[in-house]
Amino acid sequence: MKNDEIEHNQEMNEDFASMLESSLSFSSPKRGEIRQATILHIAEREIIVDLGTKQDGVVKYEDIQRMDDALRQSLKEGQSIPVFVLATSDTDNSLVVSINMGMQRYDWEEAARLKEAEVPVWVRVKGFNRGGILVSWNRLEGFIPSSHLMSATFNPERREVLNELIGKSLEVKVIEVDQDRRRLIFSEREAQKESRQRQKARLLESLQEGDRVEGLVTGLRDFGAFVNIGGADGLIHVSELAWHRVDHPRDVLRVGDKIQVYILSLDRETNRIALSRKRLLSDPWENAAEKYHEGQLVEGMVTNVVDFGAFVALDDGLEGLLHLSEMGDGSLKEPYSYVQKGDRLSLRISHLEADKRRVGFTQRWGTEVSEGDKGGTSSAASTSSPAEDTPPAEGGA
């Protein structure tokens, strides 16, 4: 009998020691922690949860009110759910926790996944400050810097424009996630870039090389002009803008111009569209031999000025060189003080080689002075001018 009693006491001591060890090793909840809890009871104004401690956690009415309808209706007794420890002891000596802030853990994890996957999401505009737009996504607050906003031109002084954005939904991409600093940054610009790529891919499927379409000039660069055709931008290289030399696209186009363009090439792997404007214009060299002749008086615009002369384009795009020696009276040392880009000049065709796509101009037709005639006596032009271009002699026999 005594042996049985001794064994029973030993078992009780072991159980007590085990319970004591368990209680000593347990870490009490700390403010700011996220713990897994089990819902014990759901009431109208509070929710009681078990965190595995002697003290049950309480979800206050204010936190329940902040829950979206879908989350509130999905909660069930016995359900395991993450909670955020707000206070280890309030005025009622309660352990106060938040389901909303606990669920934010999942939102931070989802935000990090979306950033890695580069998947666009929708956010709702809540307000703005001097740096950008304040937005909400799921249970998190985020920010769109002004440099990444596309829906409006950001100007904190023009509050009426920014106020119109409040309440609207914007498609964005996650570009920065820092849960420790509660920093969640979105970019509307990056999302629209991807949207344009998708739209461009769809457009490429419907286009064929050689098609003629209408487009809107959206940008001008040194190397060419960007033209929007059906929601996607294509590029007209500067060499495809006109048959004559184009120094800069602004010489022939303006942003906002509606123009007809020719589909030069389509690269469906890189989503690139090469366009041409000049392919829809008549090639001036095709009938140059029939339309022009040496000595003919023409008008053209200076397209470029170089050390040895100026390039001049006629109205139909035929372009040639007015050499320095053919300018004015032929005594100029440099052309820059005599002509400028954009000047319109009257001149004559000095030589024409249509088969080689070459034409030269002169302003000295019939004024050349022969090398052997130094006394000031004018000689005839080295190349005879047409009769209609030669003034009649004064006086009679």
Which one of 280, 300, 322 terminates a domain?
A: 280
Q: Which pLDDT belongs to residue 269?
A: 80
Considering the domain architecture, whether residues 122 and 182 belong to the same structural domain is answered as yes
Which one of 79, 110, 141 terminates a domain?
A: 110
Residue 91 lies in a domain: yes
Residue 343 lies in a domain: yes
Considering the domain architecture, whether residues 128 and 155 belong to the same structural domain is answered as yes
Considering the domain architecture, whether residues 299 and 344 belong to the same structural domain is answered as yes
Q: Which pLDDT belongs to residue 321?
A: 92
Considering the domain architecture, whether residues 264 and 217 belong to the same structural domain is answered as yes
Residue 305, domain CATH: 2.40.50.140
Considering the domain architecture, whether residues 262 and 325 belong to the same structural domain is answered as no
Residue 9 lies in a domain: no
Which one of 86, 110, 134 terminates a domain?
A: 110
Domain of 231, in residue numbers: 207-280
CA distance 59 to 46: 5
Cβ-proximal residues to 245 (8 Å cutoff; 6+ apart), any chain: 303, 304, 311, 313, 319
Residue 396 lies in a domain: no
- φ and ψ at 247, to 5 degrees? -70, -40
- φ and ψ at 352, to 5 degrees? -140, 125
Residues 353-370: tens digit of each pLDDT? 888 889 999 998 765 443
Count of domains observed in the chain: 4
Structure-token match 């929601």, residue found: 231
Residues 141-182: tens digit of each pLDDT? 999 998 898 887 767 666 777 788 899 999 999 999 998 888
Considering the domain architecture, whether residues 102 and 147 belong to the same structural domain is answered as no
CA distance 262 to 235: 11
Residue 12 lies in a domain: no
Considering the domain architecture, whether residues 246 and 298 belong to the same structural domain is answered as no
Considering the domain architecture, whether residues 263 and 313 belong to the same structural domain is answered as no
Considering the domain architecture, whether residues 97 and 126 belong to the same structural domain is answered as no
Nearest of 175, 64, 70 to residue 123 by alpha carbon? 175
Q: Which residues of the chain have pLDDT under 70?
A: 1-27, 91, 154, 156-158, 366-397
Considering the domain architecture, whether residues 292 and 275 belong to the same structural domain is answered as no
Considering the domain architecture, whether residues 143 and 214 belong to the same structural domain is answered as no
Considering the domain architecture, whether residues 320 and 374 belong to the same structural domain is answered as yes
Q: Are 96 and 60 in contact (CB under 8 A)?
A: yes
Residue 177 lies in a domain: yes
Residue 4 lies in a domain: no
Residue 27 lies in a domain: no
